[in-house]
Amino acid sequence: MFDNREKTDLNKLGEFGLIQHLTQSVEISQPTTVKGIGDDAAVLDFSGKKTLISTDLLLEGIHFDLRYVPLKHLGYKAVQVNLSDIYAMNGIASQITFSIGLSSKFPLEAVEEIYEGALIACKKFNVDLIGGDTSASAQGLVLSVTSIGYADEQNITYRSTAREGDLLCVSGDLGGAYVGLQLLEREKQIFLENPNIQPDLEGKDYIVERQLKPEARKDIIELLEALHVKPTAMIDVSDGLASEILHICKDSNVGCKLYEEKIPIDPMTYETARDFGLDPTVCALSGGEDYELLFTIPQSDYDKIKGQLDITVIGHITEPEAGRLMISKSGNVHEITAQGWNAFKK
Ligand code: ADP
Ligand code: MG
């Protein structure tokens, strides 16, 4: 699982030694952080803004497989996917806590790698690491990240406020993370059967990165602000486009029309899905883990986003009675259903 460098047993350090070691280089840069690591609780001050909090639990064997996920990427991704939830509320992420449960198979060097990735993400997204918890785990690696952010009340975007006539938009492209996962799974199987065969991921960087190293779309939040567009509703795409659209429609009590031909799919995602005998549209609808933003905007804002390469209008919001529909490339009408992750993933 790790490389050949010499390993340090965590028992040598003890819990306090480990925390001290991991957090010694942590610096605080956010004006909203009054006190970070080092007391019984961190202290924050958002002076009049609303506070946003979101938390995620990541379990080895359920959410990640260390046979192909590098630890540094794991630390990075754990932070990213959590920050994505703050951006999905149209907020500014400012702090995280990072908690970790470690089974005896993890040496210090492994934990250092996880932390390295987590701290790279903190730096990149300009958030302070302000605390966490550290414990032994009976089995497997456990990570839990909580992200904290803030927003002016009028800027917060809920899932429940899409309106009839709004345009349905998505950032980036979809399905790549799922197809990347299929590639990694295939290479893992080949490796398990014959450990002498090296993984063949040649030329597949984009989709492998979409799976291993997703990027929370803070840039889209900033872009929308610069364009003076406030989404009427927003959600991040963690479970697949279909599931997220249904969340917005249910919570807002509206219907929608989604046009299959408009769904943004990268050519590499498309071709690789085809090679696997998968329908690229299904990968986008049900794959998940793309961490793009799905949002609705008033029709009158169309001119403001028109021509933005990273934003695609994929449909519009209708009255609830019209149903939640996808118009296929051949013009057939399908009801949108969320397969959910148990139906689709292993
Ligand atoms: P307590 O016994 O009150 O839980 P700890 O000894 O666990 O205190 O933590 C001491 C300090 O170190 C706290 O500020 C806590 O937030 C921080 N801390 C503990 N584990 C981590 C971690 N994995 N990452 C960052 N900070 C941590
Ligand atoms: Mg503790």
Residue range 3-35, pLDDT digits in tens: 667 888 888 888 889 999 999 989 999 999 999
Write out pLDDT tens, residues 164-216: 999 999 999 999 999 999 999 998 888 888 877 777 777 889 999 999 999 99
Closest CA to 175 of 281, 94, 260: 281
Work out the pLDDT band at 282, boundaries 50, 70, 90: very high
DSSP state string for 34-72:
EE-BTBSS-EE--TTSEEEEEEEEEEBTTTB-TTTS-HH
Instruction: Say whether domain 10-155 belongs to CATH 3.30.1330.10.
Output: yes
Q: How far apart are CA 175 and CA 152, in angstroms?
A: 33
pLDDT tens, residue by residue, 219-274: 999 999 999 999 999 999 999 999 999 999 999 999 999 999 999 999 999 999 99
Pocket of ligand 1 (CB under 6 A): 19, 23, 37-40, 98-100, 129, 131-134
Neighbours of 254 (CB within 10 A): 24
Cβ atoms of 177 and 210 within 8 Å: the answer is yes
Ligand 1 mutation pick, 95, 133, 134, 144, max ligand atoms within 8 A of CB: 133
In this prediction, residue 191 carries a pLDDT of 80
CATH code linked to domain 159-335: 3.90.650.10
Q: Among 23, 79, 137, 146, say which to mutate for ligand 1: greatest number of ligand atoms within 8 Å of CB.
A: 23
For ligand 1, atom 24, the nearest C-alpha belongs to 132
Distance 58 CA to ligand 2 centre (A): 18
Amino acid identity of 165? G
Phi, psi of 267 (to 5 degrees): -55, -40
Expressed in angstroms and rounded, the spacing between residue 184 Cα and the centre of ligand 1 is 34
How far does the chain reach from its first CA to its final CA, in angstroms? 22
In the chain, domain spans? 10-155, 159-335
Other C-beta atoms lying within 10 Å of the C-beta of residue 26? 17
Give the rounded distance of the alpha carbon of 116 from its chain centre: 19
In this structure, which ligand is nearest to the CA of 19?
1
Distance from Cα 138 to the centre of ligand 2, integer Å: 17
Measured by CA distance, the residue closest to atom 17 of ligand 1 is 131
What does pLDDT average to over the chain?
93
Question: Atom of ligand 1 at shortest distance to CA of 16?
Answer: 6
- The protein residue with its alpha carbon nearest to ligand 1, atom 2, reads 40
Lookup: tokens for 243: 């599931």
